[in-house]
């Protein structure tokens, strides 16, 4: 349920409504917009319906919501959300934000080199993994704490914010200290305890869709973060498991318009992980911008043959630079920019 307040509703009126919601054993969530302030009621909607909130002072209207996710729905927030990452970097606005960099942080020198390369080509965020979830326990697991420090140093040296993946809530203090965007990987999309801990922060969260999850599942995972108070959520479609084996996963390009119809959250596409093959990254990136994605997260490596992780899907710097030029034309054609 969503309670829409009248313009100029007093703090006393708002508190009275929130107190009544809590008395019903439900949870109020206040959201103040440019034109309206609304209160989302979290919990069993049937319980809230017995209370005539329409009669309360300061209430303009009451809207029931049948969807299981509330805060991330269009009913809760009509206008598209814009997530502020750093000064001049916002996801969800007119600009399509490109995040780029190596799959994993290998060493300080290479990371600094790639950071400067992707920034020069127009990327607004540096990506790189310090903690790596790998299918095999014998694969390279990342530089961990040292990798986080290298990312932070690269951020300072190149003047570009960073996004990196968290796997364990015990590492959260490290991410709060160093990261600008905390990424939740596909394997952890339904790690609900991790999502709740991230919800207690105010850091932007890049939430990747699980490889076998529906869009409903995806939005409910975002709801976990929202329900704890963190509204800085960016969704990332990175491909789902299908019967097709020509690519690593199948990019659900339709997820972008579907999510935008259901939710106010920005959506980015990961063309690298869905394809697993660098040759497909450029066309999938172009399709993503054309269909309305708010951003891309692309793997770039100066020597993919020597990459410690996912070399086959990484673009060389020259390929990335050429792609950025082409993306600017596509973005312009759909009324946006890179």
DSSP state of 67: S
Q: How far apart are CA 239 and CA 15, in angstroms?
A: 44
- Residue 189 CB contacts under 8 Å (≥ 6 apart), including other chains: 207, 208, 209, 210, 213, 217, 218, 221
The pLDDT value recorded for residue 37 is 86
Give the tens place of pLDDT for each residue, 63-72. 887 788 888 9
Domain with CATH 3.20.20.70 in the chain: 83-333
pLDDT in tens, 292-309: 999 999 999 999 998 888
Nearby residues of 183 by Cβ (< 8 Å), 6 or more positions away: 127, 163, 164, 165, 166, 205, 206, 208, 236
The CATH superfamily assigned to 83-333 is Aldolase class I (3.20.20.70)
Q: Reduced to 3 states, what is the DSSP secondary structure of residue 237?
A: strand
Residue corresponding to tokens 């040296």: 157
The pLDDT of residue 309 = 87
pLDDT confidence tier of residue 116, bands split at 50, 70 and 90 = very high
Class of domain 2-63: alpha beta
Q: Which of 133-137, 168-172, 208-212, 261-265 shows the lowest mean pLDDT across its residues?
A: 133-137
Name the band, by pLDDT with cuts 50, 70 and 90, for residue 119: very high
How many residues are recorded in the chain?
Answer: 338
Average of per-residue pLDDT values in the chain = 94
Comparing C-alpha atoms, which of 282, 299, 281 is closest to residue 114?
299
Determine the 3-state secondary structure of 89 from DSSP.
strand
In the prediction, which pLDDT does 65 show? 76
Residue 48 pLDDT class (50, 70, 90 cuts): confident
Looking at the chain, the domain(s) classified CATH 3.30.70.1140 span 2-63
Whole-prediction pTM value? 0.85
What b/e string do you get for 259-279 counting C-beta neighbours within 10 Å, with b at 16 or more? bbebbbbbbbbbbbbbbbebe
Helices within the chain (DSSP H only): 11-23, 45-49, 108-121, 145-158, 172-178, 192-199, 215-227, 255-262, 271-275, 278-291, 317-333
């Amino acid at each position: 349920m969503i309670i829409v307040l009248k313009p100029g509703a007093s703090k006393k009126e708002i508190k009275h409504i929130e107190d009544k919601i809590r008395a019903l054993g439900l949870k109020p969530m206040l959201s103040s917009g440019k034109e309206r302030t609304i209160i989302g009621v979290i919990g069993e909607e049937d319980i809230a319906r017995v209370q005539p909130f329409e009669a309360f002072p300061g209430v303009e209207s009451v809207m029931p919501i049948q969807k299981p996710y509330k805060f991330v729905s269009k009913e809760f927030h009509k206008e598209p959300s814009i997530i502020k990452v750093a000064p001049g970097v916002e996801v969800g606005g007119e600009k399509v934000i490109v995040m780029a960099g190596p799959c994993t942080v290998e060493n300080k020198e290479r990371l600094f080199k790639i950071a400067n390369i992707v920034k020069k080509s127009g990327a607004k965020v540096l990506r790189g993994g310090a903690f790596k979830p790998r299918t095999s326990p014998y694969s390279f697991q990342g530089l961990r704490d040292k990798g986080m420090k290298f990312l932070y140093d690269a951020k300072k040296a190149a003047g570009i914010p960073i996004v990196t993946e968290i796997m364990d809530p015990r590492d959260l203090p490290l991410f709060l200290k160093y990261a600008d965007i905390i990424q939740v990987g596909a394997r952890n999309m339904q790690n609900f305890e991790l999502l709740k801990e991230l919800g207690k922060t105010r850091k932007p969260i890049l939430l990747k869709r699980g490889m076998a999850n529906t869009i409903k599942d995806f939005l409910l995972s975002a709801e976990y973060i929202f329900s704890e108070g963190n509204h800085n959520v960016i969704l990332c479609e990175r491909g789902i498991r299908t019967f097709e084996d020509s690519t690593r996963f199948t990019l659900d390009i339709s997820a972008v318009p579907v999510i935008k119809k259901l939710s106010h959250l920005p959506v980015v596409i990961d063309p690298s992980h869905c394809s697993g093959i660098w040759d497909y990254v450029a066309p999938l990136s172009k399709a993503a911008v054309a269909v309305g994605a708010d951003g891309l997260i692309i793997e770039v490596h100066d020597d993919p043959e020597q990459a410690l992780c996912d070399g086959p899907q990484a673009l060389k710097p020259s390929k990335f630079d050429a792609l950025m030029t082409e993306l600017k034309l596509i973005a312009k054609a759909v009324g946006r920019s890179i």
